[in-house]
Amino acid sequence: MNPINSGDIAWMLTSSAMVLLMTPGLALFYGGMVKRKNMINTIMSSAMIMGLATVMWVLFGFSLSFSGAGQFIGDFTWFGLNGIEGVDALKFAPTTMTFAIFQMMFAIITPALITGSIVERTRFAALFVFVIVWSILVYYPLAHMVWGGGYLMQLGAIDFAGGNVVHISSGVSALVAALVIGKRKNFGKAKYHPHSVPTVFLGAGLLWFGWFGFNAGSAGAANELAVHAFMTTTVSAAAALLSWLIIEKITVGKPTLVGASTGLVVGLVSITPAAGFVPIWAALVIGLLASPISYFFIAVIKNKFGYDDSLDAFGCHGVGGVWGALATGIFALKGFNPDPNLDAVRWNGLITGDATLLGRQALSIVITIAIAVIGTLIALAAARLTGPLRVSARDEERGLDLVEHEESAYPSFNGMD
């Protein structure tokens, strides 16, 4: 019988609640950036996923992600979470049910991240089907491969809290979805400005708060590793926020609150795969470099190729996730886990002169991208069974709040949109 530590359970349940709060935070972060007439639809996209992803996770998502000994996907041993309670089910710390609750919050926010690339033009019914198929084809297999004992774990690639599983998968999928669905009606003809900058910052602040549960909770216990991950998360976010403001000052002359919000999120994304594997000073470097890397893709690459990644889901999460996964291969060191038997770092990073881990990280990135691209294309094809992927040009002009939901975020507002 494995002893159950009530302190660890308390920390993991608290972390789970914090990660759940990230999805409403993301909804506000995204919602503040769109036009007033699309605020409800943007928030509703995340709200819908909170319900859908939870039900899927309980029925079969957790089982496909973490049961069985398959290389690429689990089985239905724990269908409906059957059999994971009790002393014989302690496969994951602190208990399997606690672990299932914590991981459920990741399964919720990951597809929600994708919606930022396709806001203001995507049919709600199509998005609903897309999330179902994408979770089955992309998220559950990656969770199993990275954390459930599958191929990437056996390969020796490491991902502390979701660089591959959450950010690269969602960021790459966001780019593919944006390319397939197409640009917004006035993209390239008119500038898009956030309609509520304070809401953007509020959402970013909630994300930063929740991210402490995201990363420190991934330690699986209330221990030294959680403390270390908490600090690396803070340092990277702060460094990226400052470096983004410096970039804006140099390039456009004035720092912005939207820039500060974006920078801190990019810093959080980039440290996620490395949070429990790198020293504090490395987290500072990762955050400082995260902003210029993502800024380049958002300000230069996106404009050069002309794709409409509406809220820069790819630029922030895809690019930031790739940088974080590579940085893990550069800076990771053994020994941060207080339990040497649970230390996932099999090779020290490139800074010690060993390129083995960096090579495994690079291969894991390529595999993640391939799964995300193929799975997203199939999920979009399935979503087309409901009808067109996007609303009509007329409905896009009217706004998705009215067209899809018959609601208004600002019913007393009569000014220009």
Domains contained in the chain, CATH given: 6-405 (1.10.3430.10)
Mean pLDDT of 75-95: 81
Mean pLDDT of 350-369: 98
Q: How many residues can be counted in the chain?
A: 417
- pLDDT tens sequence across 280-330: 999 999 999 999 999 999 999 999 999 999 999 999 999 999 999 999 999
Please count the helices (runs of H) and the strands (runs of E) in the chain: 18, 0
Mean of all residue pLDDT scores within the chain: 95
- pLDDT tens sequence across 162-206: 999 999 999 999 999 999 999 998 887 777 889 999 999 999 999
Residue, of 100 and 411, whose pLDDT is higher: 100
**Per-residue confidence band for 412, with pLDDT thresholds at 50, 70 and 90:** confident
pTM of the model: 0.96
**Per-residue confidence band for 333, with pLDDT thresholds at 50, 70 and 90:** very high
pLDDT > 70: percent of the chain: 97
Q: 235: part of which helix (H) or strand (E)?
A: helix 224-251
Burial of 223 (0-12, 13-18, 19+ CB in 10 A): middle
CA dist 178 and 91 (Å) reads 39
Mean pLDDT of 113-138: 98
pLDDT, residue 413, reads 67
Q: At 190, is the secondary structure helix, strand, or coil?
A: strand
Asked if residue 89 has pLDDT above 80, the reply is no
Lowest average pLDDT, out of 53-57, 112-116, 143-147, 340-344, goes to: 340-344
- pLDDT tens sequence across 25-74: 999 999 999 999 999 999 999 999 999 999 999 999 999 999 988 999 99
pLDDT, residue 155, reads 96
**Per-residue confidence band for 340, with pLDDT thresholds at 50, 70 and 90:** confident
How does DSSP classify residue 410? Answer: -
Answer whether 206's CB lies under 8 Å from 30's CB: no
pLDDT > 90: percent of the chain: 90
Asked if residue 415 has pLDDT above 70, the reply is no
Asked if residue 360 has pLDDT above 70, the reply is yes
How does DSSP classify residue 81? Answer: G
Asked if residue 266 has pLDDT above 60, the reply is yes
Closest Cα partner for 271 from 242, 228, 310, 222? Answer: 228
**Per-residue confidence band for 87, with pLDDT thresholds at 50, 70 and 90:** very low
Q: At residue 254, what are phi and psi to the nearest 5 degrees?
A: -140, 135
pLDDT, residue 272, reads 98
pLDDT, residue 93, reads 78
pLDDT, residue 160, reads 97
Asked if residue 24 has pLDDT above 70, the reply is yes
- Following DSSP, what letter does each residue of 299-312 receive, concatenated? IIIHHHHT---TT-
pLDDT, residue 286, reads 98
